[in-house]
Amino acid sequence: MPEGKKLVIVESPAKSRSIAKYMGDDFIVDASAGHIRDLPQPSELPDDMKKGPFGKFAVNPDEGFEPYYVISDSKKSKVRELKQRLKEADELYLATDADREGEAIAWHLYEVLKPKVPTYRLTFTEITKEGIRRAMESPREIDTDLVDAQETRRILDRLFGYEISPVLWRKVGRGLSAGRVQSVATRLVVDRERERMAFVPASYWDLTGEFATTSGEPFTAKLNAVSGDRIAQGSDFDETGELKTSRRDVVVLTKDDAESLAEGLTDAPFSVDSLEEKPYSRRPQPPFITSTLQQDAARRLRFSSRVTMQVAQRLYENGYITYMRTDSTTLSNEALNAARKQATELYGGESVPAKPRVYGKRSQTAQEAHEAIRPAGDSFRTPKQVRSELSADEFRLYELIWKRTVASQMEDAKGFTASVRLTGAAKDGRSATFGASGTVITFPGFLAAYEEVADDSEKKDDDAKSAKDKRLPQLEEGQALTGTDVEAKGHETTPPARYTEASIVAELEKREIGRPSTYAPTISTIMDRGYVTKRGSALVPSWTAFSVIRLLEEHFGRYVDYDFTARLEGDLDQIARGDVEREAWLQGFYFGAETAEEGLKNVVENLGEIDARAINTIRVADGVELRVGRYGPYLERPSPDGEADENGELKMLRANVPEDIAPDELTAERAEELFEQAAHSGRVLGTDPETGREIVGKDGRFGPYVTEVIPEMTEDEIQAHLDAQPTEYYKNGKPKPKKKPKPPKPRTGSLLKSMSLETVTLEDALKLLSLPRVVGADEDGQEITAQNGRFGPYLKKGSDSRSLESEEQLFTITEGEARKIYAQPKQRGRQAAKPPLAEFGADPTTEKSVVVKDGRFGPYVTDGETNVTVPRSVSLEQLTKEQAFSLLAEKRAKAPAKGAKKSSGGARKKTAAKKS
């Protein structure tokens, strides 16, 4: 590096390449590729530290919560490279991201590199020429308060997880974890499922009718009242299925009432009672912050939170948008001018208000020094201008951000809402009042650029849906109308909608739990841990999550309290502002405050006895309990006929709970079906005449199946096996222990769809156990077999598979018929493709057909260009198209994997990088 060079360090290689384009020749830009050091796992500490004060957390709680940091193995060469470049530089600029994490990365770089040259802290809110120029004009010191806040969060999460998670391992199951935000997010999902399980639906009826004016222009209206009494709608019932106390004056129509009224109103004369028009005005939404971007990308683009942030990171690093981790809706003057100018050019001067719009804080803790997420630059590039430069996912997200930003500086949408009430008399003398309304947009304003889409979980019941954009004909009071096609409709109230990624982000933000940058990893964590799965876009909790949350609520209630978790965020903000001292706060959290508030350490040490059986038991019906066991959930109830077990105690009946049954679907009726199925589990079907082995039918976690019973080897047989092995010796001359024989694996076969445990016969079972069946061979002698897979029957020849039309073909298809199937044209000019295990239609991004295929390393999702293995935690039977699209999007967005093992390190000693 020539003399006089200035070294600029950012955290991302992509960001370094983008910044380098705008820096002069005297600047060298390099990247740390994220954190260069972190807290190690306690097991990775040096041996002399494992039994000391750092041994439990890699943090010393007795000496000011001093952390022990290590440089990861993957970063050693990068640190050496940066040190070498720094030796030849005259100035150092630490230009990592503008959030607490970025501030901490800058501080760690400063601590490890130990620069002897003037050092400056820079932050780029956008990677543009203007943004870099503004950053270079305002260098500053490392903000040690921000570093303290980030370090406190890191230590807090280590204390929380390492104290509470072991309790979950002992009482619920290995591999589980607790986390400050993840546990609260899981509780939200579980609480919603509890509401759904307790929900009692209520039935009600109403009427809709077609009405026509004398000119013949029809419109639809809905029954509001009968003989002056308002009829009940879904919102009038509570979660127990009863009318709310304040709604006892409404009339609940029965089926007979509604149908007789509908019959009596068909072709009846009606007249218009009232007409009302009100002005309508709607303001644009503020520009995106991190949470609202994740929500809207989920609704419009079907992106997971993780994909949204990965794609936004690329857009930021390559200079297309401003920094994407922010909770501020503020726009700079340059951005305001750019948005107003673009709106004027594209939608006309009348679409832009006289003065720029300024939006208030969404959160009291919003950092107004940051900008909202917007297109980068002092003048915006339209989506059309950047389309050829971006991938499909990047373009769609950029377009969304551009639309929202421009729309935020446009005029209100204006129009009017028209409402009409009309009354007619039924043949039985009852009067019926119908109503209809519609909104007419006369001036689109910001809607010309952007309109927010509601999340599925936020949509109302049929009786409360908006009549937006519904047009009504010209009507006058007293005007005569004719009712036709009056129809009675039955309804049932629905339980609260499950959370989606979009709605849980909104809920976390509303409760001020976590921060924008934590939402995506939090959702990923609770899914990776198996606490939550996706059904479509809905988040469904597992039974394990019920056990975990119950334990936390009963023994760590304060730490999963929504308000307490929100207060923690406020405390971290106070540390970031320098209002609270880091060490004192951690002392209070872990050891307890001087007040009566108890610390985490004391709570864990005084838990008392926890009844694991009770924690893992959920009542699902009278006398029926679900238990979360090591091998999955199962039902248990006493034998109804009072039968005793071998110990003389009341016999308990058990039934496996299939993984595809959501908790709110496990009703008393469904439980009875599972017990009925389990009653036939273990039924002896007979003896295999060829092997002499007993054949039984069983109920398993993945459905009913048949298997053979292989007798255990006798002691003599085991000894004979050991005696037959040659004796081997260690280097010291001692004989190696001989290996006991492994028991043979029994043959198994899943029941066909047409079979049940109750009716399956020995003949059926032997046919199933005969699979895969050799059908024959092709012209070259290659064997063809018929097999039954998770997604149906198929033929297999080498690595070439073809679907069969029915299960019966497994046993009837001939060699000639199989050859005809394989004689069909091959796909893509090569070998015929395997039949897809599942088909999901066109990918919303690439518009290519998405299927699941059986690959060498297991099932994988593909659109023909991108392939991604289906995670083991996701059951193929439960894999939805939304999950498939999300997996592909994540693969396209995924950055290279990073290794992170321990390395040399040291304890924390904080020093600020100062301007010189």
135 Cα distance to chain centroid: 36
Which residues does residue 209 pair with via DSSP β-bridges, in sequence order?
A: 221
Alpha helices in 599-755 (DSSP H): 600-605, 612-615, 668-679, 715-724
Contact status, residue 205 vs residue 255, Cβ threshold 8 Å: yes
Alpha helices in 655-709 (DSSP H): 668-679
Residue 512 in tokens: 């001020």
- Contacts of residue 155, defined as CB under 8 A and 6 or more positions apart, other chains included, come to 39, 57, 59, 65, 67, 586
* Rounded-to-integer distance, Cα 911 and Cα 372, Å: 31
Q: What is the DSSP letter of 560?
A: G
Backbone angles phi, psi at 736, to 5 degrees: -75, 145
- Contacts of residue 688, defined as CB under 8 A and 6 or more positions apart, other chains included, come to 694, 695, 708, 766, 769
Burial 390-421 (b: 16+ CB within 10 A, else e): beebbbbbbbbbbbbbbbbbbbbbebeebebb
* Rounded-to-integer distance, Cα 163 and Cα 159, Å: 6
Contact status, residue 252 vs residue 243, Cβ threshold 8 Å: yes
Residue 673 in tokens: 């079906």
Cα dist from 669 to 624, 628, 764, whole Å = 11, 20, 29
Nearest to 532 by CA among 888, 191, 169: 191
Contact status, residue 828 vs residue 811, Cβ threshold 8 Å: no
Contact status, residue 806 vs residue 838, Cβ threshold 8 Å: no
Q: Based on the number of CB atoms within 10 Å of its own CB, is 479 exposed (0-12), middle (13-18) or buried (19 or more)? A: middle
Q: Based on the number of CB atoms within 10 Å of its own CB, is 684 exposed (0-12), middle (13-18) or buried (19 or more)? A: exposed
- 876 C-beta neighbours (distance < 10 Å), count: 15
Q: Based on the number of CB atoms within 10 Å of its own CB, is 644 exposed (0-12), middle (13-18) or buried (19 or more)? A: exposed
Q: Is 323 a catalytic residue?
A: yes
Alpha helices in 318-369 (DSSP H): 333-347
Helix (H) or strand (E) holding 14: helix 13-20
Contact status, residue 530 vs residue 873, Cβ threshold 8 Å: yes
Residue 806 in tokens: 């029915």
* Rounded-to-integer distance, Cα 642 and Cα 796, Å: 51
Which amino acid type is present at position 810?
Answer: L
Contact status, residue 516 vs residue 505, Cβ threshold 8 Å: no
Nearest to 327 by CA among 155, 499, 576, 500: 576
* Rounded-to-integer distance, Cα 711 and Cα 694, Å: 9
Burial 554-587 (b: 16+ CB within 10 A, else e): ebbeebbebeebbebbebbbbbbeeebebeebbb
Nearest to 845 by CA among 884, 807, 804: 884
Q: Based on the number of CB atoms within 10 Å of its own CB, is 430 exposed (0-12), middle (13-18) or buried (19 or more)? A: middle
* Rounded-to-integer distance, Cα 15 and Cα 29, Å: 9
Contact status, residue 56 vs residue 163, Cβ threshold 8 Å: no
Helix (H, G, I), strand (E, B) or coil at 815: helix
Alpha helices in 228-318 (DSSP H): 255-265, 290-296, 305-317
- Catalytic, out of 22, 120, 316, 323: 323
* Rounded-to-integer distance, Cα 331 and Cα 323, Å: 12
Catalogue the active-site residues. Answer: 323
